[in-house]
Amino acid sequence: MLLRASRLRAIINNIAETPDLKNQNRSLWDKRMIEGGLRYLKKSAGGRRVTEYHLRAGICACHSLAKDYKSTDWEKILSLYDQYLEINDSLGIVLERALVISDIKGPKAAIDDLLRIDTHNKVNLSKALNLTLAELHMKLLEYEKAIEYLSKPYELTNNDKEKSMYLSKIEFCKRQLELTKKYNLVL
């Protein structure tokens, strides 16, 4: 918890738009909390079994030890997510792992990984899955596909803030498509 809490100032400092890890000002991260979190993680590592808490803390530790986003040990984080999935194969963990794959191997590899998910699990109806697939397609400049994935959760939600967020992303994709047509850009 200390490792996650160490980032709070970077998040609260920009409360209007919660910055993701890539865009957080790491100089605002609390070094004492990071040191404390690493100390507790080291103490807990002497146990006989690895728990979700160990794995989550290990992932946070990798982020905390990196001087910037680019120097993050993504391979180590992927390895921790692979172990995590053996304990908890929830959609949230699957999606977080896919974002790590995107950083290592690119968005296409992450999309391929997500599309292998068991469709009998009904996760194909998930707003989070569709949003993640849309974001990955946006990284690939595949705006039509992104709109497809954004439209599903937009239609499913009754929450006005969510609708507004999906609509904003859909409109962004439409503007990008218009620009590519206007200037005959090949994506």
* Angle, vertex CA 34, rays to CA 32 and CA 40, nearest 5: 105
Q: Identify the CA nearest to 114 among candidates 88, 134, 139, 142.
A: 134
Residue 32's Cβ-side half-sphere holds a number of Cα atoms within 13 Å equal to: 1
Structure tokens at 102: 């995107």
Instruction: Dump pLDDT digits (tens) for 148-187.
Output: 999 999 998 999 999 999 999 999 999 999 999 888 877 6
Do 162 and 127 meet the contact criterion of CB atoms below 8 Å apart? yes
Integer Cα distance of 123 and 40 in angstroms = 35
Q: What pLDDT is stored for residue 125 in this prediction?
A: 58
Domain boundaries of the chain, sorted by first residue: 1-68
Residue 79's SS3 state is helix
Instruction: Dump pLDDT digits (tens) for 12-59.
Output: 765 556 668 888 889 989 999 999 999 999 999 888 899 999 999 999
